[in-house]
Chain A
Amino acid sequence: MKNKWLSVPYIVWMAIFVVAPLILVLIYAFTSRSGGFTVENFTTMAQYVTVFGRSFFLALIATLVCILLGYPLAYYLAREGAGMRRMATMLIMLPMWMNFLLRTYSWMSILENTGLLNTLFQKIGLFALINSVFGTNIEYFHMINTQGAIVLGMVYNFLPFMVLPIYTVIDKIDYRVIEAAQDLGANTRQVFRKVIFPLSLPGVLSGITMVFVPAVSTFAIPRLLGGGMVTMLGDLIEAQFMGSAYNPYLGSAISLVMMVVVLICMAVMNRFGEGEEGAVVL
């Protein structure tokens, strides 16, 4: 059974299609349009500082909201019976089988100025009420094409990636540990704070990684829900590779910086949490 040669084709494949492409990004980042060595790609990036800041800020908010919604959900879920738990995890996975663009597109029709939510508010007389109280003259809430809509899209799309790892970790906690804490006189709150929460931290950490990384680099969500008004890092990179501003050298440099900043964030975070095994898979 011990056949280590079976790993060779895989190692070769990964060397060609994972490692080599990343080395290419590294090389391109330090290459000028004419082909020589340059650091100009990095100096021109200074003009995009606001885009970097905005991306990290919005992704951070989305990650926080995901923790606030996802942690209680995972915790409550772990307390349900077996049948209910199986159905709930299935329900969380199910939307992922529809491509995330389909689901994001649906939010467009909900959030539009003449969309479902505004129509609903109109029907229940919310606008009439506000207008008569405040003397304003509004016909809709402006929700789409805002930064809020982008954060909503991120939370909506990446919430399962927060819930599932936390749920997996809490579910695996040995019930006897909790009983032991109770025997030693801990009340429900203390059991949670001193036992369950610390033990669930690895799940939270991998959840944060799985939400923050796609959130900071997304370009489809800001395009659909931000209407192209709000530029994020992903848009910037996409424009360098596919857009009119074709410049893979600058695009590689931005990707590289983004990757390094994300890696630093993760390293700092893992140091904090004494991170055990990195990625908990679904």
Chain B
Amino acid sequence: MKKNGFWSRLFMVLVFLFLYAPIFVLIVFSFNATKSRSVWAGFSLQWYVKLFSDEAIMEALRTTLLVSAAASVVACIAGTAAAIGIYALKRKSRGIVLSVNNIPLTNADIVTGVSLSLLFVLAVNAFNSTFGTRWELGFWTLLIAHITFDIPYVILSVLPKLRQLDPNIYEAAQDLGATGFTAFRKVILPDLMPGIVNGLLIAFTMSIDDFVISYFTAGSKVSTLAMEIYAMARRKISPEINAISTLLFASVLILLILINIRQSRQDRLAKRQKAILATKK
């Protein structure tokens, strides 16, 4: 294909500018000396200081990170197991299972959220009236909801890796004396790993980014960062939100750069190994 000329490069730059301008604005105004969101009044770290003493926001941040981490890890393990199981199913039943798997992906978030909240309210009420407890929607329902919409992403990123697998190597490992689980751990798992890690990352991203489903399933006592912002938007939003956005953005950026460095180092290592092997032949 032809390389990009000046105009197409300019177009790309403009679109990326569009994507990043609001984030840039958030970051700049997190260091503003006054509460204003549009007039620069000098450098200050006061919003960062206030942020760490704001119990509501810190609590929401903790909930968000905890739910996202727990849900994506559980979804990652459950999704990998499920993908292996689905792969072994007969064609027809696999088709049915995979279309159910697609429901949370293609359905509007609000429908997923609303339908889960109906289920949770019914279940909690039924439980309370039979056992005389006073349970409410809260962290656990939030976690279940997140796991439910995370698993499909993991399955969809692990399944292609299963398809690429050579079916003979598992048997070869067993022939060489490995038990079923050892063969899985030493032979199959390393091949699936890129898909699993990718699934974990996507699941975590989706959990962090979610607002709608959390909003309907978290009940009134627990709230995630997004819910906190949404509640604030009705009153007045404090620049502490800018500060926390900046911190989140910075940590993600550092994380991604680290992953990238590791990846390119691995690439280089693999290339060198290949070169050495080639010379030995």
Contacts and interface: CB of A to CB of B under 8 A. Distances in A.
Summarize B's interface: helix, strand, loop or mixed: helix
Interface in B87-113: 88-89, 97, 100-112
A112 to B, nearest CB: 7
Contacts of B115: 21-22, 24-25, 255
Sorting the interface of chain A by its residue count into under 10, 10 to 19, 20 to 34 or 35 or more gives 35 or more
Interface string A220-235: 1001100000000010
A21 B108 contact: no
B78 A9 contact: yes
Interface stretch (A44-52, A114-122, A127-135): A114-122
Nearest to A72: B11
Nearest to B25: A106
B153 A220 contact: no
B78 A217 contact: no
16 contacts: A7-B97, A9-B78, A9-B81, A10-B78, A14-B101, A18-B104, A72-B8, A72-B11, A88-B12, A109-B29, A109-B37, A156-B22, A220-B230, A241-B117, A258-B111, A281-B202
A123 to B, nearest CB: 11
A223 B11 CA distance: 31
A61 to B, nearest CB: 17
A24 B241 contact: no
A179 B37 CA distance: 53
Contacts of A13: 78, 148, 151
A205 B256 CA distance: 29
Contacts of A76: 4, 8-9, 11-12
B84 A259 contact: no
Contacts, number: 252
Interface residues of B, number: 88
B39 to A, nearest CB: 7
B216 A242 contact: yes
B237 interface: yes
Contacts of B88: 1-4, 6-7
Interface string B146-172: 001001010111000000000100100
A159 B14 CA distance: 14
B122 interface: yes
A139 interface: no
A77 interface: yes
Contacts of B205: 93, 96-97
A213 B108 contact: yes
Contacts of A259: 107-108, 111
Residue from the set A109, A237, A242 with the largest chain B CB neighbour count within 10 Å: A109
A4 B105 CA distance: 23
A214 B89 CA distance: 32
A91 B233 CA distance: 27
A18 B102 CA distance: 10
A53 interface: no
Nearest to A170: B1
Contact of B2 (A21, A79, A251): A79
Interface of A: 1-11, 13-14, 16-22, 24-25, 28, 69, 72-73, 76-80, 86, 88, 90-103, 105-110, 112, 114-116, 119, 156, 159-160, 175, 178, 188, 209, 213-214, 216-220, 223-224, 234, 237-238, 241-242, 248, 251-252, 255, 258-259, 262, 266, 278-279, 281-282
Contacts of A218: 110, 212
Contacts of B29: 109
A155 to B, nearest CB: 9
B21 A214 contact: no
B119 A99 contact: no
Nearest to A15: B100
Nearest to B263: A86
B28 to A, nearest CB: 10
B16 interface: yes
A109 B112 CA distance: 31
Interface stretch (B48-56, B125-133, B246-254, B272-280): B246-254
A102 B97 contact: no
Nearest to A93: B205
